[in-house]
Amino acid sequence: MNTQFADVRVQHVFQSYPQVYRTALLQIRDEIYATAHAEPKVGQLLETLKWGQPSYVTAHSKSGSTIRIDRFDKTKIALFCHCQTTLVSSFKALFPEFEYSKNRAVVFDPTQPLPLVELSMCIKMALTYHLNKK
C-alpha cells in the first residue's frame, strides 16, 4: 500500500529499525492502512508516536482503540493494544496459536512470514473496537 509518512518523526523511527524489523513492521503498517481503507466506518487514521512507538489512531471517527507497533524483546516485533480493552483476549480466543504478551500485545517473529489474513482481522477488531462496544 505505500502510504507516505505524514509525520517525519514516525518516518525516522522506521528508518532507525534494522532491516529485518523494518520490513515486517512496514508490512503491518501497510495492513493497518489497508484494513482502515476497507472499513468505511474507521475513516482517516492519524499516524503519530505514542511512547516512542508508531501509533495509529481513529482520531476522526473515534471508532477504534489505538494500535501501536514496535520491536519486542530482542528478536521479535509486536502489535500492541490498549491493555484495558478486551482486544488481546479476543485475539487469543480466535488465534490461540499466536504468541502474546499478557493483555497488551500480539508478538511475531520478523524473520517468518506474517499471518496477514489473521492479522488483518485483529487490526479490524481494534480499529472498530468502540463501534462494537455500543
CATH number for the domain spanning 31: value is 3.90.1150.200
The pLDDT, as a whole number, for residue 3 is: 78
User: How many structural domains does the chain have?
Assistant: 1
Parent domain of 52: 8-129
> Can you give the pLDDT of all 134 residues of the chain as single tens digits?
557 998 999 999 999 999 999 999 999 999 999 999 999 999 899 999 999 999 999 988 889 999 999 999 999 999 999 888 999 999 999 999 999 999 999 999 999 999 999 999 999 999 999 887 65
Is 93 a member of any domain? yes
Is 12 a member of any domain? yes
Is 92 a member of any domain? yes
The pLDDT, as a whole number, for residue 117 is: 96
Q: What SS3 state is found at 92?
A: helix
Query: What residues have CB less than 8 Å from 79, skipping those under 6 apart?
Result: 28, 67, 68, 69, 105, 106, 108, 119, 122, 123
Is 120 a member of any domain? yes
